[in-house]
Structure 1
Amino acid sequence: MDHTTGTLDTSGTLDEALQRLHTSGPERHGWLSNHGPMAVEALVRHGQAGSVHRWLDHYRNKLEDMPSLNSRITATNWRAALGDPQRIADWTAYFERETAERPWREVLAEWWPRLLPGIAAGATHPVIRVGHAVRTLLSGDAGAPRVTELAHGLGYWAARHQLLPEITLTGRTQSAAASLDAVPLVPEQEGGIRDRFAQLTAFPDWPAASASDPESARADLSELVTAAVHRYATHGYGEPVMLVHAATAPNAVLRTLPALPRELWPSSLAAAWAASAAVTAAYAPTAPASYAPTGTLTAEDIFERAAAHGDDHTIKFADTALDVGDQAALIAGLRSIELNEPVFSRR
């Protein structure tokens, strides 16, 4: 899985889109996430830059202004503000200052281990947003709108930071796919994600202890993303929007690894597994449903269909499916297009 290749944006479309979006806050209606920055990054990356402003023109009705500033967050008082959603604007301003004064990789490396325990906060959207931002920065263009996007992602994550409940490890499993199959579902699959996460008690004991080695951790994380994408084809029907995050959250971590010190890779794998398992426990159905479309799919066709479909989660899942890249992943991408409600009229 190569997270550095893709269509380079020479049109300036991504920077224009990010500048439009940075006047908005990361949430709406209290806690629903602003998916705009993530979706436009995926659209541009996969050759759909021409559709970005049309997509944003439609999506802007869902956006809300950035909240007002409260009080300044500093290197000495940040702990008191961690996990306080009323401080979203304060956190964003803090990371804008930090990334203006220091290299973005240095800021990321300092804050990644602080934020990682709260990976499931905001229904995993903050880490996903950071993953999209880092992928763009790793492509070689670290212009101001792209660094600012990383600041907004980190600020959102810090403001929504929240730990999962204490988890007991159950029996050892030998693969990521088997581990996802063995995740115990929460007893009451009703209500919002926070109500469901509060019921979590146990996850399978995966990955193997060898994942303490950075390269093994990266390999296991890649395996997890592949397994979660493949599983969506047969289990995504249980909750088509929310189960997308079982794949896109760990993939955000995988995209970020090249920008991090190698000693942070094993803990990144552990957090990514916790996020994927939590989403699976909260929303997966009790049994798979067979899904086997005929014909050979291509990556270009899948993403073109996702872009025409227009749903933000569908675009982001197709983007992750293309990272995996095999036929089973493309089938899962097609399944997300079919399961989720289209934003634009079908063609």
Structure 2
Amino acid sequence: MDHKSDTTGTLDEALERLHGTGPERLGRLTNHAPMAVEALAARGRAGAVHRWLDLYAPKLEEFPASVEPVTEANRPAALGDPRRAADWIAYFDRQVAERPWRDVLAQWWPRLLPGLYGGATHPVIRVGHAVRTLEAGDATGPRLAELAHGLGYWAARHSPLADVTVLPGVHGSAADGLDAVAPLANRADGGFPARLARVEELPAWAAAVDDPEEARLRLVELVRAATHRYATHGHGEATMLVHAATAPNAVLRALPALPRALWVPSLRAAWTASAAVTAMYAPNEPVPYEPVGDLDAEEVFARALAHGDEHVIKFADTALDVGDQRALGAALRAVELSVPLG
């Protein structure tokens, strides 16, 4: 079940509907609707977009108020200030109106990459969805605006991972690398920012990679390994462990639009994000993976849509990118572990 460009106009309608809402709600939770509707449209489910959005709409909040415009002079002080989300989105709206969107992305990607961990990695995931749809089809006004919203959210939530000791490298597979991540000792307390602040050590993986194409292949491997791992470890935290796969996949989706010189640092940031999420939410023990039988991608995605949870939909979308039976089984595990929408 390949992803495809939505030619019905539904995605653009949905994005226009959503751009009057803020990137967050309750001051800390992410608005997942733009990502989920892009996934639905990309998987040929445009007909379900507005129905799904009607169910999700009670979670949405109005677009936040502006503080003051972001300028070249005040840009450094505004970076990482979540109160400035509206200002940053307006800044990127101007940028994508004035220049080719790939030029804006290439300029800002290395600036934003060190802060990929802010907003529980949701900003980079939103950007990855926006880039996929721009790469697949027309750069319509709503799709360009969606990239601006994603980049603006990322700039506002920009949060580097500080004071992490890099342990000796793991030279095996990405699965070996994730297996080598030591779980946080006190995983029961606090949300994402509090736990992230307690991540002190992570193993290096693929640290010797310096070739862009090799970096892309390792990123593909990482997404596959993190998706597979959910089947045995997702019960540690059904929602948050999804991001160990969806965050690096967002980076992978952006690569075709980025200069090759940015691919190696992108791999390193994606590994750190996936490893940190693994450390923060790993269960005490894995459960055995039990193959479900011969799974059909279309049916698996239909079950994710019927379940309705935004993380389940986005994880199923990533599992379909991976495309093998264990990835599809992991998507069904997310259906089983998660609370349905509504």
Q: TM-score, normalised to structure 1's length? A: 0.96
CA contact (8 A) 2:5 2:137 kept: no
- 1:165 deviation in Å? 2.3
CA contact (8 A) 2:184 2:198 kept: yes
Code of the residue aligned with 1:266 in structure 2: it is: V
| 4+ residue runs over 6 A deviation | none
Alignment of 1:62-101 (within 5 A): 62-101=59-98
- 1:294 deviation in Å? 3.1
Code of the residue aligned with 1:61 in structure 2: it is: P
CA contact (8 A) 2:5 2:133 kept: no
Residue deviations 1:92-119 (CA, integer Å, cap 9, x gap) = 0000001001110000000000000001
Match of 1:255? 253
Alignment of 1:1-347 (within 5 A): 6-173=3-170, 174-189=172-187, 190-209=189-208, 211-343=209-341
- 1:232 deviation in Å? 0.2
- 1:10 deviation in Å? 1.5
How many percent identity over aligned positions? 64
Give the distance between the partners of 1:325 and 1:275, measured in 2 at CA. Answer: 22
- 1:287 deviation in Å? 1.6
CA contact (8 A) 1:187 1:199 kept: no
Residue deviations 1:259-294 (CA, integer Å, cap 9, x gap) = 000000000000000110111110011221113143
- 1:171 deviation in Å? 2.9
The 3 A distance-change label for structure 1 pair 90 and 224 is same
Give the distance between the partners of 1:105 and 1:8, measured in 2 at CA. Answer: 18
Farther off after superposition, 162-171 or 142-151: 162-171
Farther off after superposition, 64-73 or 228-237: 64-73
Give the distance between the partners of 1:337 and 1:343, measured in 2 at CA. Answer: 11
CA contact (8 A) 1:25 1:64 kept: yes
Give the distance between the partners of 1:254 and 1:38, measured in 2 at CA. Answer: 15
Give the distance between the partners of 2:5 and 2:152, measured in 1 at CA. Answer: 26
CA contact (8 A) 1:238 1:284 kept: yes
Residue deviations 1:147-203 (CA, integer Å, cap 9, x gap) = 000000000000000111222122321211011111111121121111101111111
Structure 1: gaps (5+ residues): none
SS at structure 1 position matched to 2:166: strand
- 1:257 deviation in Å? 0.3
Residue deviations 1:62-119 (CA, integer Å, cap 9, x gap) = 0011111111111232111000001000000000001001110000000000000001
Structure 2: gaps (5+ residues): none
Q: TM-score, normalised to structure 2's length? A: 0.98
Give the distance between the partners of 1:21 and 1:30, measured in 2 at CA. Answer: 17
CA contact (8 A) 1:165 1:197 kept: no
- 1:34 deviation in Å? 0.1
Residue deviations 1:230-272 (CA, integer Å, cap 9, x gap) = 0000000110000000000000000000000000000000000
- Aligned residues between the structures: 340
- 1:13 deviation in Å? 0.4
